[in-house]
Chain A
């Protein structure tokens, strides 16, 4: 095993390093250059992509935004006073029904937390290249 100095840091060089460093180079196949240039020419001569029709779309988008805005305004105008008048009375359930329902809620919460944790760990492992 060799030791080669690199910026005052020594790195051990094993046989594995020798193997990985001594790979015979590939020679490109004879038609490679031609095929690349053919594809470049194809792309260069292809008609330019059709531009997005902003002129036709903008009026529609403005109209849609106006309708949604008006809808939101009306909702706030009529909806908010109505919310205040709603009396929230919980349904009366007997203890035999209420207890299992409460437990189901906790089970659902636990399942949700497990799912979130699983998704998060998969995401982290995927980002780290472990998957």
Chain B
């Protein structure tokens, strides 16, 4: 049995226990998924406190809607889709303060003595620039990288066809590349996880 299947089995058992009235079983679900949900929320707002609040709200909605999970998809797929809806509506109610994409600071080439700090800051500038993208392009970017470049998982979370997600992703990357042209020519030795498609989250 793979780790994913084992995890799915644990989720299923806990959901059944919660639906049978054992409230404590929900703790297992929160324990397993708190990390992913907080990290997903963080990518939506880049504010740690708010990310935890939004993740908490997502868990509450999951608890209320547990009986509505139809078990056609995995529990994680359902939970991520629900969470993305919660995060989207929370951010519509209280948007994050972002600069327009054109005003996002261009990362400078780090000086040798402060290279680590400067690199971190320049990376953060790029990540924050994602929040300045129009919503229809922002969310595919957030979910694509959250799901470790798994197009199928990101599409399932958004409830979109893979082709639509790829098209929006492509447009978003073009916008980011136009904003940060010098990053195109830099070379790093970093490894990027291979693009995955059709894998269950």
A interface residues, Cβ below 8 angstroms from B: 1-2, 4, 6-7, 11, 13-23, 25-29, 32-33, 35-37, 39-41, 43-44, 128-130
Contacts and interface: CB of A to CB of B under 8 A. Distances in A.
B30 A19 contact: no
B56 A36 contact: yes
Q: Nearest 7 A-B pairs (CB), nearest first?
A: A129-B135, A129-B136, A6-B195, A15-B183, A20-B145, A28-B34, A18-B190
A128 B192 CA distance: 31
Contacts of A41: 23
Interface in B117-175: 123, 126-127, 130, 134-138, 141, 145, 148-149, 151, 173
Given A23-B145, A25-B39, 16 more contacts: A6-B195, A7-B197, A14-B184, A16-B126, A16-B183, A17-B192, A18-B190, A20-B130, A26-B38, A26-B51, A29-B52, A33-B31, A36-B59, A40-B26, A128-B136, A129-B138
A88 B27 CA distance: 75
Contact of B38 (A6, A32, A35): A32
Contacts, number: 107
Nearest to B189: A18
Given A13-B192, A21-B192, A33-B30, A43 B63 contact: yes
22 contacts: A6-B195, A14-B173, A14-B177, A15-B186, A16-B126, A16-B176, A18-B192, A19-B126, A22-B190, A23-B43, A25-B35, A25-B39, A28-B34, A28-B38, A29-B52, A32-B55, A36-B30, A39-B60, A40-B23, A40-B63, A128-B134, A129-B135
A35 B137 CA distance: 33
B192 A36 contact: no
B48 interface: yes
A6 B26 CA distance: 38
A11 B176 CA distance: 15
A36 B52 CA distance: 10
A7 B194 CA distance: 12
Contact of A19 (B51, B127, B194): B127
A27 B37 CA distance: 11
B151 A6 contact: yes
Contacts of A21: 145, 148-149, 192-193
Which residue among B137, B192, B194 has the maximum number of chain A CB atoms within 10 Å of its CB?
A: B192
A20 B126 contact: yes
A7 B196 CA distance: 9
Contacts of B34: 28, 32-33, 36
Given A18-B192, A19-B123, A37 B27 contact: yes
A33 B42 CA distance: 17
B18 to A, nearest CB: 9
Contacts of B38: 26, 28, 32
B177 A16 contact: yes
B64 interface: yes
A15 B188 contact: yes
A37 B177 contact: no
Contacts of B184: 1, 14-16
